[in-house]
């Protein structure tokens, strides 16, 4: 589609979106839990959280296992974990851990690691695994070898999961971290294409991402073709994180990658969809569905899930009422659109107030240091978001009541 075609499509979308806003708002209010919406009976298996890089821990167990056990204890049925090797301990899972991995450790070997095996043996129905290995960025080199390796690594991981867990009702979703930041080469000033404009090589970046996504999908497809009849499922998802930029005409995963690939699912790290009335979140999900092309495995179903969403409690003098209201809005949108999975960012907060880009996990931090992306605070107490989500979980299959909120 040429520039004029994209512009026309964008104008038509905006016009339709504006015309529907009152109806969207009414729908959101109808599905707002605190307005008495009925909570799905399977809500436990739709709600979960990410566990990675938290800047504190509460036990002396290996950090990844501590977090998985805590989420299970809290009543969540799905979990998102980072899945990347490193020298010694993988980044994000350092506390009380002795991984003994290297940069040569394969994805399959990582899945065989006792720490991941213990997590996978816990009673979660879905494990989303964030894997971004091998992304070529703006490379102008011949990608034949690197893409073949990417495909083979994903194939061997997928085959291992399908064979090992074939007798268990469990789903693994292989996905990338925030795709628009990958596309733009990071999160710094140069990555803000909505402000500074896209660089001259943006088309090359898009082309390389499409090739990389296709290689990963081929790996999953090959494994599924070899393992038939099992209960275990493996899917591949692309995660977008600047969907609103795409709606505003900026080259993005939503507008320039999704139409060029066939993918099982789409994940949205959905902070750019946050608004008090929920309309942006609703329209963003619809926009992603409009642009994605599902694989044959999905039988025409367009699946978009929320790979990451949070509302930091320790910022802007927020009150419990404000946090609960925002989460009630999120849930109203997700229930209205029948979103299958929602991952809260995150179990333990990973961001400091003073420097949000300080990703060092050590030393352990206090609540006062943190921005408040948490379900559990450093002192072990439940956050306001956790109290609200716990009340939603308790109402499974029934109309919501405030349960002490």
Q: Determine what percent of the chain is predicted with pLDDT higher than 90.
A: 87
How are the residues of the chain apportioned to helix, strand and coil, as percentages rounded to the nearest 5? 45, 15, 40
* The pLDDT of residue 358 is above 80: no
Q: Which tens digit of pLDDT belongs to each residue from 12-65?
A: 344 444 448 999 999 999 999 999 999 999 999 999 999 999 999 999 999 999
Cα(87)–Cα(69) distance, rounded to whole angstroms? 25
CB 163 within 8 A of CB 179: no
Cα(12)–Cα(303) distance, rounded to whole angstroms? 23
Q: Which tens digit of pLDDT belongs to each residue from 147-190?
A: 999 999 999 999 999 999 999 999 999 999 999 999 999 999 99
Mean per-residue pLDDT, 123-131: 98
pTM across the whole model: 0.93
The overall average pLDDT reported for the chain is 93
**pLDDT score of 53:** 94
* The pLDDT of residue 362 is above 70: no
Assess whether the previous peptide bond of 363 is cis (omega < 30° from 0): yes
């Amino acid at each position: 589609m040429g520039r004029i075609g994209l512009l026309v499509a964008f104008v038509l979308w905006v016009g339709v979106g504006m015309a529907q806003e009152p109806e969207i708002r009414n729908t959101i209010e109808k599905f707002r839990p605190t307005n008495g919406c009925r909570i799905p009976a399977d809500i436990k298996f739709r709600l979960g959280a990410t566990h990675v890089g938290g800047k504190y821990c509460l036990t002396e167990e290996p950090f990844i296992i501590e977090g998985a056990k805590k989420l299970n204890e809290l009543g969540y049925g799905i979990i998102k974990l980072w899945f990347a090797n490193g020298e010694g301990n993988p980044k994000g899972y350092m506390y009380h851990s002795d991984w003994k991995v290297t940069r040569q450790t394969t994805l399959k070997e990582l899945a065989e690691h006792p720490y991941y095996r213990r997590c996978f043996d816990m009673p979660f129905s879905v494990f989303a695994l964030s894997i971004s290995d091998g992304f070529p960025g703006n490379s102008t080199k011949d990608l034949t070898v690197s893409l073949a390796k990417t495909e083979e690594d994903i194939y061997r991981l997928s085959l291992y999961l399908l064979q090992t867990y074939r007798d268990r009702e469990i789903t693994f979703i292989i996905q990338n971290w925030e795709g628009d930041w990958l596309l733009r080469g990071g999160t710094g000033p140069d990555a803000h294409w909505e402000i500074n404009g896209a660089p001259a090589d943006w088309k090359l970046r898009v082309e390389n991402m499409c090739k990389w996504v296709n290689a990963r999908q081929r790996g999953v497809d090959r494994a599924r073709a070899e393992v038939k009849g099992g209960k275990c499922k493996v899917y591949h998802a692309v995660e977008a994180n600047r969907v609103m930029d795409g709606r505003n005409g900026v080259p993005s995963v939503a507008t320039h990658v999704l139409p060029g690939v066939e993918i099982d699912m789409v994940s949205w790290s959905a902070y750019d969809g946050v608004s008090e009335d929920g309309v942006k979140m609703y329209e963003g999900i619809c926009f992603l569905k409009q642009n994605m092309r599902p694989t044959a495995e999905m039988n025409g179903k367009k699946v978009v899930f929320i790979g990451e969403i949070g509302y930091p409690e320790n910022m802007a003098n927020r009150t419990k009422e404000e946090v609960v209201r925002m989460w009630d809005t999120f849930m109203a949108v997700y229930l209205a659109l029948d979103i299958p999975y929602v991952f809260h960012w995150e179990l333990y907060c990973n961001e400091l107030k003073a420097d949000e880009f300080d990703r060092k996990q050590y030393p352990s931090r206090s609540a006062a240091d943190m921005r408040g992306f948490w379900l559990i605070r450093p002192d072990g107490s439940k956050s306001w978001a956790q109290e609200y989500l716990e009340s939603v979980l308790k109402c499974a299959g029934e109309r919501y009541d405030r349960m002490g909120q």
